Structure formats: C-alpha cells, structure tokens
Amino acid sequence: MRLTIDLSRSRVETKYGLTAEDIPALTDRIPCAEREEYRVLTLYFDRPDGSLARRALEHPLRCTKVRTRQYPEDPSIWFEVKTRRGCWTRKSRLQLSRSEAAALLRGLTPAEMDAFGPLHGSDDDEAEARCHLRELAEGGLLPVGAVHAFRRTFLVRADQVRITLDQGISYYRPCEDPTSLDGATAPGLLLQTESSLVLEVKYAGALPDWGRELVSGLRRSSYSKFRNLVLSLAEARRAANRVDRL
C-alpha cells in the first residue's frame, strides 16, 4: 500500500540531488515512523505534435505532464495529470483497472467510450484527469516512453509532509504492452540509467523547522523524469541517425 496524504490536489514540491553516501545520515533525521520501499513504473504520454514535451523542455516550471503510474503489487493503474506552476503543482488522477488501462491504450470506439465508466463522473478533483483520459481514448495522446525507479517514501502526517527518495532511475522506449511492468522494463528497451539520486519534498503550505533543517545545504535540482526521458529519446534517435549515415 502506498503511503499517501491528501496532497494530490495542490502542493509545493522541491527536489534535491543526492549521492548514495548522503542517504543514511539524511534519512535518520526524518521524524516519522511510516516508511515504505517499492518499485514504481511511470508511462508518459504526449500529443502527436510533441507539444507537451516541448513545453516541458522550454518552460519546465509551467507545464503539464500526462502519465500512468503502476506498482508491482497494486492491481490498479493510476492515470494522472500533473500541472506545475512554479514550485506549486496540482495533480488530478483516476484509478483504473489493468484491463481498463489496456483497453484505453488499444483505443476505444465511440460506443466503447460511451460505456467506459472512468470517462464519466462528476468529481471536480478528477475533472482534469478525465478530460485528458478522453483525449487518450480518442487517440490524441500517445505513449512516448517509461521511467522505472526504486522509491523510498517517508510520511510525516502531523506536518502534512511526504518525502520520496528515488534511485536506480531508468528510461525506456515504449513497449507493445505498457501495462506490463516486466515488459516495459525489458533490457532491449533501456535508454539510460541515472547515476544520481533524487530527493523530493512535498508539502502543503510552510515546511516545518525540521524539514528546513533537513534540506539545508542540499543541492536544489530542477530534475524532471519526463524531461530527461524526452532528452534520452532524442539522443537515441540522433545516435541511430549517425549509424544510418555510416
């Protein structure tokens, strides 16, 4: 079960670059009893004209990312739309079964769309996700690649703070069945693996004193999984073009 608190709608997110040597001393200073480790696979989408990727590259603090998230032991797949405005982010998401996600990625006929439950609802918090879900169902969004990471989560409920530490971050070309975690991370699809670790602090409002002390002296990072995936795909295409010209 993922450790979460009600920060999905709107929150501040700050990221920091770490080395493996930084981890023990840093994590020992997080005042929480709720800790969890798990793998996470994120599949990113873009429009056929590449407009979401261009926006993320050109305006990283004012962009929208559309993705699915899945975890090995979770039978669901989460469809998420994450919008960043400066240090604030807003996330709208919908819970899908794996069969629903697979049907969406194959494409739906108009009749199937009318009968597809996740496309219909009245929850305002899900409205943005539902709008992009319809865009995906109509073929207006395409999978561009996946990012896999090993994540450690630290939850401090009293202060409404969630901290994640991602390592072993790897980028992959899209596969035929993106709902399969093993298929999406097949060795032949691997583009690149990050050597650094990424710490992300997520909170609503003001960061408590212990949080400010925790990140004091750490190197702020503008890291983005989607942006680095797009750059990795572009480099792979350039490398393939160079080989073709030989």
Give a yes or no: residue 5 inside a domain. no
In the chain, the number of structural domains is 1
Give a yes or no: residue 1 inside a domain. no
Give a yes or no: residue 38 inside a domain. yes
Q: What is the mean pLDDT of each run of 10 residues along the chain (246 residues)?
A: 59 92 92 91 97 96 96 92 92 94 90 92 88 94 97 93 96 92 94 94 91 94 95 91 60
Structural domain containing residue 206? 11-245
Q: What is the CATH number of the domain that holds 72?
A: 3.20.100.30
Query: pTM for this structure?
Result: 0.92
Give a yes or no: residue 212 inside a domain. yes
Which pLDDT score is estimated for 155? 94
Give a yes or no: residue 3 inside a domain. no
**pLDDT digits 0-9 by tens, 113-160:** 999 999 998 888 899 999 999 999 999 999 999 999 999 999 999 899
Give a yes or no: residue 6 inside a domain. no
Chain Cα centroid distance, residue 95 = 15
